[in-house]
A and B are shown apart, each in its own frame.
Chain A
Amino acid sequence: QVQLQESGPGLLKPSETLSLTCTVSGDSVSSGSNYWTWIRQPPGGGLEWIGCVDYSGSTKYNPSLKSRVTISLEPSNNQFSLELSSVTAADTAVYYCARGEGYSNYPIPYWGQGTLVTVSS
């Protein structure tokens, strides 16, 4: 059974860098054809795909966030991570890590429980 768990600070100040880690069990981040994915949901809002990384370290990013986002693999710990720079209050959201299937339709069957990140001065 694939399980994912997010970890990282829950409170940031404007202009700081958000850093989250996703620990994966039941699968390997360094093999297979899956997309290791970050998605967020602001309070009262809808889902927003942030981006993903595959087993080789190749990344895809949401064009609206691309200038501020870095997603990377940490194979030695079977983890992948998210960095989002220069955060503002608009980045306040529940952040989910997930495993997407590695083909064009991109279904996402496995999700972490989500972690709330609040940006406030």
Chain B
Amino acid sequence: QSVLTQPPSVSAAPGQKVTISCSGSYSNIGSNYVSWYQRFPGTAPKLLIYDKNKRPSGIPDRFSGSRSGTSATLGITELQTGDEADYYCGTWDSSLNAVVFGGGTKLTVL
């Protein structure tokens, strides 16, 4: 059972917007910003969003992140079929003294 809670799957049509939620507690999301990762089958995760909605070089601004209390949200606009992947949230948990992740959300672009 993951410390952070994500929906197992989400879906949307090409060109539409989708959001993926990540729910935690004060000791993780409530205290530290979440990072979001994209993972295609057979490849390593890629950092998409970190800190307060920062994107590494090369990540398009179609990807965005936000936080409210003990929940975080990844937003993806202008969906493309190439966005079909698994998405994970993760951050430091100050009580566990460990990095914690969500269980992952599979995005399907219909």
- Interface residue ranges, A against B (CB under 8 Å): 37, 39, 46-49, 60-63, 96, 100-101, 104-109, 111-114
Contact = CB atoms under 8 A, between A and B. Distances in A.
22 contacts: A39-B99, A46-B2, A46-B101, A46-B103, A46-B104, A47-B88, A47-B90, A49-B90, A49-B98, A49-B99, A60-B97, A61-B98, A62-B98, A63-B98, A105-B32, A105-B34, A105-B92, A106-B91, A106-B99, A109-B47, A109-B50, A111-B45
A63 to B, nearest CB: 6
Nearest to B2: A46
Contacts of A112: 44
Interface residues of B, number: 29
Interface of B: 2, 31-35, 37, 43-47, 50-51, 56, 88, 90-92, 94, 96-104
B35 A47 contact: no
A111 B41 CA distance: 15
Given A47-B90, A111-B45, A114-B44, A106 B101 contact: no
A114 B97 CA distance: 24
Contacts of B43: 113
B33 A105 contact: yes
A46 B88 contact: yes
